[in-house]
Structure 1
Amino acid sequence: MNVHNGHPGLVELLVDGKETGHSALRGNRPQLVSGELPTDPPASVTVRVTPGPGTPRCTAVIDGTETMMSPRAF
């Protein structure tokens, strides 16, 4: 996940460096971004993004299992 703050803000879901989903950032409210993982067959993934305040938090939901994603600075 890339979270671009600013006006307007943007949240991008990247898989292997390629954008597979995106959404406009709506303040600090949590939102969902959906995409696909390049598995055989492709698997759907939904990421719950909480942009702030502070460091953004992201949780991936794959096949009903939630996984907290570690924040990384670029």
Structure 2
Amino acid sequence: MAQGHHFHLDAAGHSVTVNMYSGHPGLIELLVDGKETGHITLRGDRPRLVAGELPTDPPLPVTVRITPGPGVPRCTAVIGGVETLMSPRAF
């Protein structure tokens, strides 16, 4: 896979990470506390959604919206009804 992007957010005492790999096909991984909880294929510049949950009691749903382009990729997480921009990190 040619290029990657990495996004991170700390939420409710847990680590939420998105790894985005370009290529044919590309791949988006959602990790919670370092464990993969979801993945989807990356197709062009269309925004994509991937869902998972935080291991709280009760579990808290997480929906991540990835916008691969045009331009610089962006990633936001919706946790408990609050949308938060995820920070890009060096890969």
TM-score range, shorter chain: over 0.9
TM (norm. structure 1) is 0.92
Q: Please, what is the CA RMSD of the aligned residues?
A: 1.0
Q: Which has the higher strand share?
A: 2
Could you say which structure has the greater relative contact order, defined with CA pairs below 8 angstroms and 6 or more residues apart? 2
Q: What count of residue pairs does the alignment treat as equivalent?
A: 74
1:18 corresponds in structure 2 to 35
Check whether the contact 1:35–1:45 (CA below 8 A) recurs between aligned residues: yes
Please list every run of 5 or more consecutive structure 2 residues that lacks an aligned counterpart in the other structure: 1-17
Please list every run of 5 or more consecutive structure 1 residues that lacks an aligned counterpart in the other structure: none
Check whether the contact 1:58–1:68 (CA below 8 A) recurs between aligned residues: yes
Check whether the contact 1:3–1:56 (CA below 8 A) recurs between aligned residues: no
TM (norm. structure 2) is 0.76
- Look up the equivalent residue of 2:57 and give its one-letter code: D
